[in-house]
């Protein structure tokens, strides 16, 4: 038994000594490779197909700026939202760009940086289908259909607040938006900026019953479990660009203006 204990303690010591080297692997690989692989998903205005090819959006700007400050090139990989965390876990990307909501459940699988922004879930409603609805409580009904996107925080909001309604969860935002625009859903729940933009673009068919978020949240960048060196860099990057207001200015451009619409593929 004594020999077994000695072996066990030696293995523990070896794990402690080796773990810092393992944690530096992602950062070392990025610098040696010369590219930062960034996972993004199509949501307005986080990441959108660009008129001249590639993608534009808040998360694209973050990825490019982080890569530039590392002196490497950003390589963007686009996923449906339900696949983006598994892609990070599988090592297909080095990080998920800003826009991923911090939750305890996700923190069991991935590691979040400190927050890069505060946002929340918003709702768009089909004007014709909800013309007789006077308050949100009336939308929590078995006859009401609410569209959302699978595995997003907004889906959780929809299912918890509107637990009596029929929730249609889609693998991508295009299908969810199409359902409300075509009058097959009474409402659509997504991030507040996304539904605001959808309403502005389709004001003849849908409206925005609330200007404030239904539920607030914090957004962050995310890396694989155990990648402490990369996490340290990203937290330092966030701190530096909060101080010089680059993060604020970038968010104001994408979330408070519409100057970027000419960059987006229609």
**Other Cβ atoms closer than 10 A to 110:** 19
HSE of 80, CA atoms in CB hemisphere, 13 A:
13
Choose among 58, 42, 99, 118: nearest CA to 222.
Answer: 99
Domain that holds residue 101: 22-118+218-263
> Are residues 225 and 113 part of one domain?
yes
The per-residue pLDDT for range 143-162, each reduced to its tens digit, is 999 999 999 989 999 999 99
Q: Can you give the pLDDT at residue 21?
A: 42
The per-residue pLDDT for range 232-257, each reduced to its tens digit, is 999 999 999 999 999 999 999 998 88
pTM, two decimals, is 0.78
Q: Is residue 160 part of a domain?
A: yes
> Are residues 99 and 38 part of one domain?
yes
CATH code, domain with 176: 3.40.190.10
Q: Select the more confidently predicted residue: 259 or 4.
A: 259
**Whether the Cβ atoms of residue 157 and residue 214 lie closer than 8 Å to each other:** yes
> Are residues 245 and 189 part of one domain?
no
Whether residue 95 is predicted with pLDDT greater than 50 in this model: the reply is yes
Q: How far is 8 from 187, CA to CA, in rounded Å?
A: 57
93: which residues sit within 8 A by CB, 6+ positions away?
Answer: 37, 38, 39, 77, 87
Number of domains in the chain: 2
Q: How far is 140 from 130, CA to CA, in rounded Å?
A: 12
Q: How far is 194 from 173, CA to CA, in rounded Å?
A: 10
The per-residue pLDDT for range 196-229, each reduced to its tens digit, is 889 988 999 999 998 889 999 999 999 999 999 9
Q: How far is 162 from 103, CA to CA, in rounded Å?
A: 20
> Are residues 110 and 226 part of one domain?
yes
> Are residues 100 and 29 part of one domain?
yes
Q: Select the more confidently predicted residue: 74 or 191.
A: 74
């Amino acid at each position: 038994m004594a020999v077994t204990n000695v072996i066990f303690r030696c293995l523990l010591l070896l794990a402690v000594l080796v773990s810092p080297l393992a944690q530096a692997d992602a950062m070392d690989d990025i610098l040696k490779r010369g590219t930062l692989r960034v996972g993004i998903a199509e949501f307005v205005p986080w990441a959108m197909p660009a008129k001249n090819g590639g993608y534009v959006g808040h998360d694209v700007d973050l990825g490019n700026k982080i890569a530039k400050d590392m002196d490497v090139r950003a390589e963007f990989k686009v996923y449906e939202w339900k696949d983006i965390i598994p892609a990070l876990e599988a090592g297909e990307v080095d990080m998920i760009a800003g826009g991923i909501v911090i939750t305890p459940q996700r923190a069991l699988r991935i590691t979040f940086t400190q927050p890069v922004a505060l946002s929340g879930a918003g709702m768009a409603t089909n004007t014709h289908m909800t013309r007789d609805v006077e308050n949100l409580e009336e939308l929590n009904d078995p006859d009401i259909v609410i569209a959302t996107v699978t595995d997003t925080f907004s889906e959780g909001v929809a299912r918890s607040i509107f637990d009596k309604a029929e929730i249609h969860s889609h693998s991508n935002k295009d299908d969810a938006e199409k359902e409300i625009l075509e009058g097959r859903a009474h409402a659509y729940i997504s991030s507040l900026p996304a539904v605001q933009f959808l309403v502005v673009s389709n004001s003849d068919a849908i409206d925005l019953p609330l200007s404030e978020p239904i539920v607030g949240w914090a957004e962050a960048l995310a890396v694989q479990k155990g990648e402490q060196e990369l996490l340290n860099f990203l937290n330092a990057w966030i701190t530096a660009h909060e101080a010089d207001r680059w993060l604020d200015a970038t968010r104001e451009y994408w979330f408070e203006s519409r100057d970027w619409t000419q960059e987006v593929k229609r």
